[in-house]
């Protein structure tokens, strides 16, 4: 009896109600989640392609919620960017990274540079640089041990305001990385004037698509350009040995991806790379 269209609309309604419900539940839980330490620090290695050695790590958040289950960042970060809670979360992750300093693998005896993701919402908040300094200096962490990752899409508006913050951070000795390069906006001209050290090439460049030869030459162009600009190149989302071989050939020095390791809880990351607990 029931017309398929109505069933469709009912299902749509239900999906919409579920989404609103999840949004409400997330917003109801976010504050106590922070106090409860439900946001976990995961780390993913960045490896040198020459010999596989560890070149650094990226901090990535996971939400282990007793009420909502295990949530990946894509399910809550867009909402937190809208409601402003991302500012607290980004600083919480920075604090966690500072508390875990130094991460010194037995193999190298040198503290790893760990990168932290910052939303444009956080970066543009009044007092951002001062607050960041309070956290890092308060923990006694040298500035050059922290790399700050900002996605290419952060420059979509108020470009000059974002650049001004980056210049302050750069002058203070922090390392800066542009994340997700190639996913959106961003002109070569912008790249030229940014005070960044690292270009993270989005995994979209590696996607197996219809014309492997053409995607290889686009990737080669990007890598050559980054090298000419004096930037360190990190290729993201590397999943296969074949991709490693190609990136080596193209002269990409560092890669991050499942082929080396998934993001791991801090404790497992330390175990895998033989990194003793920090004091």
Interface residue list for ligand C2E (CB under 6 A): 44, 60-61, 72-74, 77, 86, 90, 93, 117-119, 179-180, 203, 237-239, 256-258, 263
Contact flag: residue 117 with Ca ion (CB under 5 A): yes
Question: Shortest gap between Cβ of 66 and ligand C2E (angstroms)?
Answer: 20
User: In terms of CB distance, is 61 or 178 closer to ligand C2E?
Assistant: 61
Residue 212: partners with Cβ closer than 8 Å, 6 or more residues away? none
Q: Where do runs of H (alpha helix) occur along the chain?
A: 4-35, 77-83, 86-99, 120-123, 128-138, 159-171, 188-193, 212-228, 241-249, 266-272
Quote the CA–CA distance of 13 and 20 in Å, as a whole number: 11
217-246: contacts with Ca ion (CB under 5 A): 236
Minimum CB distance to Ca ion, residue 78 (Å): 8
Q: Cα dist. 115→118, 130, 176, 245 in Å?
A: 10, 19, 9, 25
Three-state DSSP class for residue 211: coil
Q: Least separation, in Å, of the C-beta of 149 and Ca ion?
A: 4
Give residues 135-154 in contact with Ca ion (rule: CB under 5 A).
149
Looking at beta carbons only, is 9 or 36 nearer to ligand C2E?
36
Q: Which does 61 bind (CB under 5 to 8 A by kind): ligand C2E, Ca ion, none?
A: ligand C2E
Whether a cis peptide bond, with omega within 30° of 0, leads into 135 is no
Q: Shortest approach of ligand C2E to residue 1 CB, angstroms?
A: 44
- Show the CA angle centred on residue 96, arms to residues 95 and 98, nearest 5°: 65
Instruction: Tell whether residue 180 is a contact of Ca ion (CB under 5 A).
Output: yes
Interface contacts to Ca ion, rule CB under 5 A: 117, 149, 179-180, 236
């Amino acid at each position: 009896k029931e017309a398929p269209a109505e069933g469709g609309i009912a299902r749509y309604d239900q999906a919409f109600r579920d989404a609103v419900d999840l949004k409400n539940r997330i917003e109801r839980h976010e504050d106590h989640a922070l106090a409860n330490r439900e946001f976990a620090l995961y780390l993913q290695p960045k490896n040198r392609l020459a010999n596989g050695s560890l070149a650094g790590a990226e901090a990535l958040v996971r939400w282990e919620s007793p009420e909502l289950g295990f949530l990946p960042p894509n399910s809550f970060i867009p909402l937190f960017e809208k409601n402003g809670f991302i500012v607290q979360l980004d600083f919480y992750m920075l604090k966690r990274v500072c508390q875990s300093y130094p991460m010194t693998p037995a193999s190298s005896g040198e503290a790893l540079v760990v990168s932290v993701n910052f939303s444009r919402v956080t970066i543009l908040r009044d007092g951002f640089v001062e607050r960041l300094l309070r956290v890092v200096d308060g923990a006694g962490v040298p500035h050059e041990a922290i790399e700050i990752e900002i996605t290419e899409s952060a420059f979509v508006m108020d470009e000059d305001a974002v650049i001004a913050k980056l210049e302050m951070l750069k002058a203070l000795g922090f390392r800066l990385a542009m994340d997700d390069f190639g996913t959106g906006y961003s002109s070569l001209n912008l790249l030229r004037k940014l005070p960044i050290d690292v270009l993270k090439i989005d995994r979209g460049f590696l996607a197996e698509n219809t014309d492997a030869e053409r995607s290889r030459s686009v990737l080669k162009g990007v890598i050559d350009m980054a090298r000419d600009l004096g930037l360190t190149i990190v290729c993201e989302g590397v999943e296969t040995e074949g991709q490693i071989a190609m990136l080596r050939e193209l002269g990409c020095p560092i890669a991050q991806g499942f082929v080396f390791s998934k993001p791991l809880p801090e404790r497992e990351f330390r175990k895998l790379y033989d990194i003793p607990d920090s004091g």
